[in-house]
Amino acid sequence: MFSRSELTALRRKALRRGIWFRVLSKIDRATIDLSIRCVKTIRSPTLTRIVADIVEKIEYATTGFLSRAEVVGREFAERAAQLALSWGNGDASKWKDDIGFTRYLGAMNLTKKALFVVGLKS
């Protein structure tokens, strides 16, 4: 459940970081603004779910590139390590714990997605 003070702090944080207008749609911004004005604590499960999705958008936008690369790259590093182990590479078990390798794989994936979204790659 979200309280008025939590939503106000979240809105302030998003405005300071320039995320409020760049990341959120007009409907998302209106939902947060009206929730702040109309309720002290959100009790509706439907509204809680909607606000949680908006909060997730803001949190994702505020995390840094390296943090996102680590999250995305962790799965790729584990897959690569399993594949290399199945081929007989004994050192591959260390790959999933190597933060540099994890970030590299995640950064390559995020960059590929960004180029596809922009239209530079097909």
Per-residue pLDDT of the chain (122 residues; tens, 9 = 90+): 899 999 999 999 999 988 899 889 999 999 999 999 999 999 999 999 999 999 988 888 887 788 888 888 999 999 999 999 999 999 999 998 999 999 899 888 887 765 554 455 54
* 3-state DSSP assignment of residue 40: coil
Task: Report CA-CA distances (Å) from 48 to 6, 36, 39, 70, 84.
Answer: 13, 13, 12, 29, 44
Tokens of 61: 């936008």
> Which pLDDT does position 118 carry in this prediction?
43
Q: Quick one: pLDDT at residue 36?
A: 96
The per-residue pLDDT for 14 is 93
What is the amino acid identity at position 108? M
Task: Please report the pLDDT score of residue 65 as a whole number.
Answer: 80
Cβ neighbours of residue 98 under 8 Å, at least 6 residues apart?
77
pLDDT score recorded for residue 8: 96
Domain boundaries, the chain: 4-62, 65-118
pLDDT of residue 21: 93
Tokens of 79: 């897959």
